[in-house]
Amino acid sequence: EVQLVESGGGLVKPGGSLRLSCAASGFTFSSYSMNWVRQAPGKGLEWVSSISSSSSYIYYADSVKGRFTISRDNAKNALYLQMNSLRAEDTAVYYCARGAPGDQQAFDIWGQGTMVTVSS
Amino acid sequence: DIQMTQSPSSLSASVGDRVTITCRASQSISSYLNWYQKKPGKAPKLLIYAASSLQSGVPSRFSGSGSATDFTLTISSLQPEDFATYYCQQSYSIPLTFGGGTKVEIK
């Protein structure tokens, strides 16, 4: 079964750090680009970051650039999001999502999400 | 950045109704347009990619059309499990952007 499972969310104070992980199974992880997408409470979906299959290409939303770092370990079938200098507006459910094959870059497989709460 | 505008933001419909949701891009995105369904507490689900291609496993009552700046998601006969929020997303350029969502509620 193709599956993505996020972990690492929790409550953190403003200015703090958190590292999210996404464990992939059921597909050849190293062949796919991967993404992080978030949804703040009561808000819509927001793309956060993307990484190509070999980590050659990395992109960030302006709202997280310079504070968040996406990475992956293809040997461990794992995707990561290091989040530093967290702000209240980073409070959201964070989803990892697989990039579909081809150039469309749709997100075809999603994890169940992990909640990040930034509050003092 | 490419802005994606969905309309309406919400709608009420009955089981069996035909439902149409529109999405407009602030500039041409060719056919780089995807549609997702989101239910509370659940992961988003890809319905349509490349504007009109049905994702595997998605019921055929869902269809997508459009190109350049104007796109449509149609549900031909609304089913109870279709009550959810629907999002369009452009994958033409970085930053990837989503529409604000359309909440489909029971009338």
Q: What is the overall mean pLDDT for chain A?
A: 97
Helices (H), chain A: none
Partners of A57 on chain B (C-beta within 8 Å) are none
Banded pLDDT at A90 (limits 50, 70, 90): very high
Task: Tell which of A2, A65, A105, A112 to mutate to test the B interface (max B CBs under 10 Å).
Answer: A105
In B, minimum Cα distance to A95 occurs at B43
3-state DSSP call for residue A83?
strand
- Alpha-carbon distances, residue A53 vs A56, A82, B66 (angstroms): 8, 18, 30
* Confidence at residue B106, expressed as pLDDT on a 0 to 100 scale: 87
Alpha carbon distance B75, A38 (integer Å): 26
Is A59 within 8 Å of B44 when comparing Cβ atoms? no
* Confidence at residue A63, expressed as pLDDT on a 0 to 100 scale: 98
**For chain A, how long is the longest CA-to-CA vector?**
43
By Cβ distance, the residue of B43, B49, B91 closest to A111 is B43
Partners of B100 on chain A (C-beta within 8 Å) are 44
Partners of B89 on chain A (C-beta within 8 Å) are 45, 47, 106-107
DSSP secondary structure letter of residue A55: S
* Confidence at residue A101, expressed as pLDDT on a 0 to 100 scale: 87
* Confidence at residue B107, expressed as pLDDT on a 0 to 100 scale: 87
Other C-beta atoms closer than 10 Å to the C-beta of A60 total: 20
By Cβ distance, the residue of A95, A104, A111 closest to B50 is A104
Banded pLDDT at B50 (limits 50, 70, 90): very high
By Cβ distance, the residue of A44, A61, A105 closest to B87 is A44
Alpha carbon distance B101, B7 (integer Å): 8
